[in-house]
Amino acid sequence: MPPAVVLVTGVSRWLGGALAAELAADPSIERVLGVDTVPPGPEALRRLGRTEFVRADIRNPLIGKVIAAAGVDTVVHMNISSTPGGSGGRTSMKELNVIGTMQLLAACQRAPSVARLVLKSTSAVYGASPRDPAVFTEQMQARRVPGGGFAKDSLDIEGYVRSFARRRPEVGVAVLRFTNFIGPRIDSLLTGFLRMPVVPTALGFDARVQLLHEDDAVAVLVKAATGDFAGTVNVGAEGTVLLSQAIRRLGRVPLPLPEQAMAPLGRLTRQARITDYSPEQLRFLNFGRVVDTRVLREEFGYTPRYTTAQALSDYGTTVVPVVDRGVVGSVVDSAEATVGRLAAAWGSLAATTRRPSAAPDLRAVRDA
């Protein structure tokens, strides 16, 4: 049975607005309420269609009156900030994320009309460390628990949502752990990072990156809001790319730096408002993170249209390359071939010197 009245928080951001617009286009849904502290821009407001915008702060208990007065039966919580700079600092970010979620859940608990809750969470709750498994399943926990920032907030939020589910067992609760979003229209930490002409990377690291196209993200949110899936699900596209491959395919220039230099550089770019990536994001850029999506495909019932490589390629249509992608590829291929020849020559030389009964073949060494 489709929902009658849906409330979407964080509707002024692209993803929240896109979800509200999709739900508003469904004639079986009576009302769609979009909540945010700031109104969406003119273009976003037009896209919202018949969505009713409510300017409200979820940190204020008045959100309960909005839910009760409208008879909301489905709540999709999207208003979770991942960047301190975009929230007015780390303190404001934590208040919005954690205190705001607590107030929203308290309002949902008091409202008997609420029958479904969908949380937009993140795969960042698994952390990023050199001891991580090849893939994370929904039952796994972080090998190194995030100590702060967006990932720590998301862990706390999921804990509060689980407590809510125990207090209101009749409410269907879906927790969606998304991988990094990418696409021509969405603005995320990773898109801002990859849009820089010169992309700093940690010397000696090459993270595996799993992405999700913006269209697939919206489709999953719509299905979660209108369906009956309950539980936690990893949401990511099929396949991975290495960070170095992503940089090369977008025609950016990689800048390998010592790992110790990455944190000061992150603070510098944050102050200059170039991009805002935190220490936990830096760990992700070092070690990467990949999640298992069996539950998404088999139990949730959705297979992403775009693979990770295809999502990156679609995003690349909006990025003007700094250097020709073909030139970068040929240079890298040549470098890899050179390294391969040197390794083969070194192996041949080592094998020769390990033969005690045979004189070394000087011609082979010279040719190598």
**Dist CA 39 CA 65 (whole Å):** 19
358: left (phi over 0), alpha (psi -120 to 50) or beta: beta
Q: Which residue has the higher pLDDT, 75 or 37?
A: 75
CB atoms within 10 A of CB 168: 19
Which are the contacts of 140, defined by CB distance < 8 A and separation ≥ 6? 126, 133
Q: Which residue has the higher pLDDT, 55 or 353?
A: 55
Report the pLDDT value the prediction gives residue 218, as an integer from 0 to 100.
Answer: 98
CB atoms within 10 A of CB 87: 17
Cβ atoms of 316 and 183 within 8 Å: the answer is: no
Does residue 339 have a pLDDT over 60? no
In this prediction, what percent of the chain has a pLDDT beyond 90?
Answer: 63
Does residue 108 have a pLDDT over 50? yes
Q: Which residue has the higher pLDDT, 147 or 79?
A: 79
Q: In the chain, where are the structural domains located?
A: 327-367
In this prediction, what percent of the chain has a pLDDT beyond 70?
Answer: 85
**Dist CA 15 CA 349 (whole Å):** 57
Q: What is the DSSP letter of 148?
A: S
Does residue 76 have a pLDDT over 90? yes
**Dist CA 73 CA 6 (whole Å):** 6
Report the pLDDT value the prediction gives residue 364, as an integer from 0 to 100.
Answer: 41
| 255 strand-pairing partners | 200
Report the pLDDT value the prediction gives residue 85, as an integer from 0 to 100.
Answer: 54
**Dist CA 105 CA 171 (whole Å):** 12
Report the pLDDT value the prediction gives residue 358, as an integer from 0 to 100.
Answer: 44
Burial (0-12, 13-18, 19+ Cβ within 10 Å), 64? middle
Does residue 13 have a pLDDT over 80? yes
Does the model's pTM come out above 0.75? yes
User: What tokens appear for 221 in the block?
Assistant: 């949110």
